[in-house]
Amino acid sequence: MDKVVLKLDDLEVMANKEDTILQAALDHGIYIPHLCYHPDLKPFGGCRLCVVEIEGRGLTISCKAPVEEGIAVRTEGPEIDKMRRVAAELLIVNHYSECLQCARNTDCKLQDIAAYIGIEEGRLQRLKRTARDLPLDDSNPFFIRDPNKCVLCGICVRTCEEINGVGAIDFAFRGLDTRISTLKDKPIVESRCESCGECVVRCPVGALVPQNMRKPEREVKSICPYCGTGCGIYLGIRGDKIVSARGDRDSVVNKGQLCVKGRFGYHFVNHPDRLTTPLIKRNGVFVEATWDEALDLVTAKFKEAQEKYGPEALAGLSSARVTNEENYLFQKLLRSLGTNSVDHCARL
């Protein structure tokens, strides 16, 4: 990849030729406030928080400005500060402000921005508009859309268009009434939305949050147990419960993306219907048994049948949902017992 050298404040940095100034800065650990930029998406240039100055040329939006050889960029300065302040205050006064009640508290881009720019409480009080009280859309069982927290960065709209190609949502209405909405402003569950949750993951604030969200205490890397795509996931664990799942951004298969099943379909693991003990059918009803009882019975019955009919009487169906190691052992066991009758439902 071609490289160029530019100056960011007083730092000389090397960047990829295709990068924008914002990307180059973030890559080098230099924070420039930004809200509508997302690394997975095409730049939008809506929030204007990422403004910087290229020496000799004036102010520019850094998420859209490509790096160039030899340019010197200032990320701070009185004029920049003023522009950012205006943009940020406008967002904040229109934003629902009970941060403690928000699922995204401490993990919110707007909080980052406010902290960076420094918002004066007094000034904010004067500016504060009566909070708009728009209805929540909780029609989707997996996530809530709260227009009162939306900052109109358009990340969800672009995600739905650029990541999964569904195009379920768009900007609607004008001016102060601008909102993200489905076609004809229907509840999201009645739109063409596929419930993939990709927009929820990318929303920089609390406008799109999972229903009943609980933060995991640790994460474990795994593979989605559903279709054959084999998306990489991280299971979020709390105690001995799976409380979340997210796509593995390093996976070449799914690059962090997931579908509705792979993101939200894990209740089966901790479900009360899970089998937790061996069962033996006695007089038509299942009764609980110990492992020894169950396995001894299986062994005895298999042996009995083999004596009566020969090894061919035994057959096994393995599973497209257990591991390779287990599939391998399954056929090894059956064949070791003298039968090649082992199959699975690949054909069904």
Partner 1 sequence: MTNPVSDVSGAGAILVTGSNPTENHPVIGYRIREAVRTGARLIVADPRRIPLVDVADVHLQFKPGTDIALFNGLAHVIIKEELEDKEYVENRTQGFKYLKQIVAKYTPEYVSAITGVPAKDIVTAARLFAQADSGAIVYCMGVTQHTCGTENVVALTNLSLLTGNLGKPHAGMNPLRGQNNVQGACDMGCLPNVFSGYQPVHSDRDTGTYWRRLTKERQLEQVGVGFIRPASPGETITSIEFNQPVPVDSVSDTIRAKFSRAWGVELSDVPGRTIAEMFHYFPHRRSRIMYIMGENPVLTSPQAELVREALEDMDFVVVQDIFLNETAQYADVVLPAASFAEKEGTFINTERRVQRIHRAIKPRGNSRPDWEILQELARRFGLNWNYSSPEDIWNEVRELTPHYFLGMTYERLEKEGGLQWPCPAIDHAGTPILHKGKFARGIGQFSTVEYRPQAADTSGGVTEEYPFILTTARKLYQYHTRTMTGKTDGLNYLLDEERMQINPRDVQALKLTPEDMVRVTSRRGSLETKIEITDCVPPGIVCMSFHFAEPRVNVITDPAVCNMSVASGVKVSAVRIEKI
Residues 16-75 that bind partner 1 (CB under 8 A): none
Cβ neighbours around 277 below 10 Å, total: 9
Q: What residue 160 binds from partner 1, ligand SF4, ligand FES, none (CB within 5 to 8 A, per partner kind)?
A: ligand SF4
Task: Using the minimum distance from each CB to partner 1, give the nearer residue, 16 or 319.
Answer: 319
By CB under 6 A, tell whether 258 contacts ligand SF4. yes
By CB under 6 A, tell whether 47 contacts ligand FES. yes
Q: Which of 62, 94, 182, 195 binds partner 1 (CB under 8 A)?
A: 195
Pair 298, 278: CB distance under 8 Å: no
Q: What residue 266 binds from ligand SF4, ligand FES, partner 1, none (CB within 5 to 8 A, per partner kind)?
A: partner 1
Residues 131-170 that bind partner 1 (CB under 8 A): 140-142, 162-165
Q: Which of 24, 50, 87, 259 binds ligand SF4 (CB under 6 A)?
A: 259
72-74 and 3-8 beta bridge pairing: parallel
C-alpha dist (Å) from residue 275 to 272, 279, 293: 8, 9, 16
Q: Which residues pair with 14 in a beta bridge?
A: 5
- Annotate each residue in 273-292 with x if it binds partner 1 (CB under 8 A) or - if it does not, as one string: xxxxxxxxx----x--x-x-
> What distance in Å separates the CA atoms of residue 7 and residue 221, rounded to the nearest whole number?
39
By CB under 6 A, tell whether 61 contacts ligand FES. yes
Q: Which of 41, 45, 161, 162 binds ligand FES (CB under 6 A)?
A: 45
Task: Using the minimum distance from each CB to ligand FES, give the nearer residue, 37 or 234.
Answer: 37
Pick the stretch among 44-52, 59-67, 120-128, 323-331 that binds partner 1 (CB under 8 A).
Answer: 323-331
Task: Using the minimum distance from each CB to partner 1, give the nearer residue, 34 or 246.
Answer: 246
C-alpha dist (Å) from residue 76 to 8, 82, 84, 246: 10, 10, 10, 35
Task: Using the minimum distance from each CB to ligand FES, give the nearer residue, 107 or 293.
Answer: 107
> What distance in Å separates the CA atoms of residue 288 and residue 309, rounded to the nearest whole number?
30
> What distance in Å separates the CA atoms of residue 65 and residue 73, rounded to the nearest whole number?
11
Pair 154, 203: CB distance under 8 Å: no
By CB under 6 A, tell whether 110 contacts ligand FES. no
Q: Which of 52, 63, 80, 199 binds ligand FES (CB under 6 A)?
A: 63
Nearest to 182 by CA among 165, 201, 166, 168: 168
By CB under 6 A, tell whether 144 contacts ligand FES. no
> What distance in Å separates the CA atoms of residue 155 and residue 44, rounded to the nearest whole number?
9
Name the 3-class secondary structure at 148: helix
- State phi, psi for 279 to the nearest 5 degrees: -125, 140
- Kindly state the number of chain residues that form the binding site for ligand SF4, as judged by CB under 6 A: 25
- Annotate each residue in 187-216 with x if it binds ligand SF4 (CB under 6 A) or - if it does not, as one string: ------xxxxxxx-----------------
Nearest to 161 by CA among 186, 192, 136, 204: 192
11-16 and 3-8 beta bridge pairing: antiparallel
Task: Using the minimum distance from each CB to partner 1, give the nearer residue, 121 or 273.
Answer: 273
Interface residues with ligand SF4 (CB under 6 A) are 156, 159-160, 164, 166, 168-169, 193-199, 224, 226-227, 229-231, 254, 258-259, 261-262
Interface residues with ligand FES (CB under 6 A) are 34-37, 45-50, 61, 63
